[in-house]
Structure 1
Amino acid sequence: MPFALEAKGAGTTDGTLVQQNSWNGGCGQLWKIELLDDGSYKVRSACSDKVLDVTDASQDDGALIHLWSSWNGTNQQWTFEPMP
């Protein structure tokens, strides 16, 4: 069964936790990927204008990811690596 990144409960407010869940095609699992000038990406919820944000800009393994209003912080910038 495929998995997806999901805004918990299809939430749309600042602080909504983001989790992995089984794919169901709901709005909380749909994302817009925006290329930024520096080559990184912003990942925006299709349900709201909120973006993926690392809680408290943590650099620790297992840090929580949530939705937050975009403010262009480095904790809202993402890179993607190809799978081998």
Structure 2
Amino acid sequence: MLVLTRKIGESVLIGGEIEVTLLDIKGDSIRIGVNAPRETRIQRSEIVNAVVAENTAAADTGAGADAADAIVAALARRRDAQP
């Protein structure tokens, strides 16, 4: 990991297309601005990690199999109820 010291208003260039500028410092928080091409995805890591964790938890519950079994059972009951 590269660690740099920047002052308010100073920037860092990444790959010539992405510019990260230090905008403000308040207490233990900083505000940064990111200037990048529109096709570049910029996401907060904690949000990405939360989505991955949620998707993993949903996949691990087996709810999909239970739902499929319920649909099959409902269709079978409907078929059996028809004259």
Q: The TM-score by the shorter chain falls in which range?
A: under 0.3
TM (norm. structure 2) is: 0.24
Q: Which has the higher strand share?
A: 1
TM (norm. structure 1) is: 0.24
- Of structures 1 and 2, the one with the larger relative CO (CA 8 A, separation 6+) is 1
Q: Which has the higher helix share?
A: 2
Greater Rg over alpha carbons, structure? 2
